[in-house]
């Protein structure tokens, strides 16, 4: 691991390379997300108000999926921030989709709903409690022993990232995409506000699955771009759906959000066919390498990937190539 060059992971700070030989890196035992989020980077980028009404996508479902939060748990992270991880089931697929929640004031309606025959201990074990757990606690209800202070002080709409699973970018240190960097950057921004939601959807490879995605990588090495590779495999350029994200956000009580995205199509998709959610602002996700000399992912693959997203998928990024 110490021999990995600095660019291999969106979560490693770039290191100077002398004579083409990567120096040894003093890595922590858990690589992500220790290095990015970076405390030295600025706070939330300037939001762009969404003043245009995006036309609903015709393929959006009339009725949103049914979702239920089965369990949540407090997760202390390597950066010192605490999050609440929510696990959801739904009536559309058999996958376990997730909501990563920053701040203790964002509650799941389906999780808090009383279930027949359950005890107070049952409720605490599945995470349907208010405040914090501690040894000897007897009730899931608000505990007067615990100071409040979790309320979100300002009234800005919640910062939200809809993130699709990317094993290669988040776990395998891939420099083919910026998915891992975007996840870490979203976490950093939400931690600064101590408020926000990452809806983590299990739709690997823009919805085609990991195996087909790896085939697409081989096609890219043969000269295809990320869109053409999917089409050659007889998949849509983007097979993802966001109706589950809309349903999860509504379960979390989020009806007005600031959306971290460069993808204008995602705004209409997340708002839903009947505008169940209002995106008040789009917060750009500019690659760190474009803003800083000593941060972000640098490779010909990621440059080609971003170029294709701008030129062929309409992503809202300004970068001369």
Q: Check pLDDT > 70 for residue 27.
A: no
pLDDT-based confidence at residue 50 (cuts at 50, 70, 90)? confident
In a domain, 231, yes or no: no
C-alpha 309/C-alpha 46 separation (Å) is 22
Domain assignment present for residue 228? The answer is no
Q: Which listed residue (72, 206, 240, 258) is catalytic?
A: 240
Please check whether residue 235 lies inside any domain of the structure: no
In a domain, 1, yes or no: no
**Cβ 207 vs Cβ 239: under 8 Å:** yes
Is the pLDDT assigned to residue 38 strictly greater than 60?
A: no
Contact 246, 279 (CB under 8 A): no
Summarised one tens digit per residue, pLDDT across range 274-287 is 999 999 999 999 99
Distance CA 315, CA 307 (A): 9
Confidence tier at 5 by pLDDT (50, 70, 90): very low
Give the pLDDT band (50/70/90) at residue 47: confident
Tell me the pairing of strands 97-102 and 82-90: antiparallel
Task: Please give the Cα distance from 259 to 296 (Å, whole number).
Answer: 21
50 burial type by CB count under 10 A (0-12 exposed, 13-18 middle, 19+ buried):
middle
Q: Would you state the pLDDT for residue 3?
A: 45
Q: Which phi and psi angles does 13 have, rounded to 5°? A: -70, 135
Number of Cβ atoms within 10 Å of the Cβ of 293: 7
Domain annotation covers residue 272: yes
296/119 Cα distance (integer angstroms): 48
Domain containing 192 — which CATH number? 3.40.50.10990
Q: Is residue 175 a part of any domain in this protein?
A: yes
Active-site residue 238, yes or no? yes
What are the DSSP calls for 36-91, one per residue? SS-TTS-SSPPPEE--S-PPPPTTS-SSPPPEEEEEEEEEE-TTS-EEEEEEEEES
Asked if 201 contacts 166 with a C-beta cutoff of 8 angstroms, the reply is no
Residues 154-213 pLDDT 10s: 657 999 999 999 999 999 999 999 999 999 999 999 999 999 999 999 999 999 999 999
Give tens-digit pLDDT for 214-260: 999 999 999 999 999 999 999 999 999 999 999 999 999 999 999 99
Catalytic residue among 225, 238, 251, 281: 238
What are the b/e assignments for 302-313, b being 16+ CB within 10 Å? bbebbebbbeeb
298 domain-assigned: yes
pLDDT at 34 over 70: no
Q: What is the mean pLDDT of the chain?
A: 84
Entry field: residues in the chain: 321
188 is catalytic: no
What's the number of domains the chain is made of? 1
Residue 247 to residues 65, 99, 152, 251, 263: CA-CA distances in angstroms?
Answer: 6, 11, 22, 6, 20
pLDDT of residue 92: 95
Residue 299 has a CB neighbour count (10 Å cut-off) of 16
d(CA 70, CA 110): 8
Q: How far apart are CA 64 and CA 248, in angstroms?
A: 10
Residue 37 has pLDDT above 70, yes or no: no
- pTM here is 0.82
Please state whether the peptide bond connecting residue 310 to the residue before it is cis, i.e. omega within 30 degrees of 0. Answer: no
Q: What is the domain extent for residue 60?
A: 53-203+240-313
Examine residue 94 and state whether it is found in any structural domain, yes or no. Answer: yes
Q: What is the pLDDT of residue 209?
A: 96
Using alpha carbons, list the distances in angstroms from residue 78 to 81, 83, 95, 276, 295: 7, 11, 27, 35, 19
Across 172-195, b (16+ Cβ under 10 Å) vs e yields: ebbbbbbbbbbbbbbbbbbbbbeb
C-alpha distance from residue 71 to each of 96, 107, 123, 197 (Å) = 11, 12, 9, 16
């Amino acid at each position: 691991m110490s021999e990995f060059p600095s660019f291999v992971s969106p979560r490693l700070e770039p290191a100077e390379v002398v004579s083409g030989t990567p120096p040894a890196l003093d890595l922590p035992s858990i690589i992500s997300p220790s290095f990015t989020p970076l405390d030295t980077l600025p706070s939330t980028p300037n939001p762009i108000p969404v003043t245009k009404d995006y036309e609903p996508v015709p393929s959006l479902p009339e009725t949103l999926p049914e979702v239920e939060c089965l369990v949540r748990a407090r997760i202390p992270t390597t950066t010192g921030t605490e999050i609440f991880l929510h696990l959801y089931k739904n009536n559309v697929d058999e996958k376990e989709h997730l909501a990563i929640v920053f701040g203790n004031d964002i509650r799941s309606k389906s999780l808090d709903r009383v279930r027949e025959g359950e005890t107070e201990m049952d409720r605490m074990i599945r995470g349907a409690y208010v405040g914090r757990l501690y040894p000897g606690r007897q009730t899931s209800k608000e505990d007067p022993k615990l100071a409040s202070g979790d309320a979100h002080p300002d009234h800005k709409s919640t910062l939200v990232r809809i993130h699709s699973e990317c094993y290669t970018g988040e776990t395998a240190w891939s420099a083919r995409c910026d998915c891992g960097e975007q996840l870490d950057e979203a976490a950093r921004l939400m931690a600064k506000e101590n408020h926000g939601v990452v809806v983590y959807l299990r739709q690997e490879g823009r919805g085609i699955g990991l195996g087909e995605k790896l085939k697409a990588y081989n096609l890219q090495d043969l000269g295809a771009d990320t869109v053409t590779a999917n089409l050659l495999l007889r998949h849509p350029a983007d097979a993802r759906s966001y109706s589950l994200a809309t349903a999860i956000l509504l379960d979390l009580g989020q009806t007005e959000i600031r959306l971290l995205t460069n993808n204008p199509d995602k705004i209409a998709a997340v708002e839903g066919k009947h505008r169940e959610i209002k995106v008040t602002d789009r917060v750009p996700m500019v690659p760190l390498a474009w803003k800083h000399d000593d941060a972000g992912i640098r490779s010909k693959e990621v440059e080609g990937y971003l170029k294709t997203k701008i030129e062929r998928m309409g992503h809202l990024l300004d970068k001369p190539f």
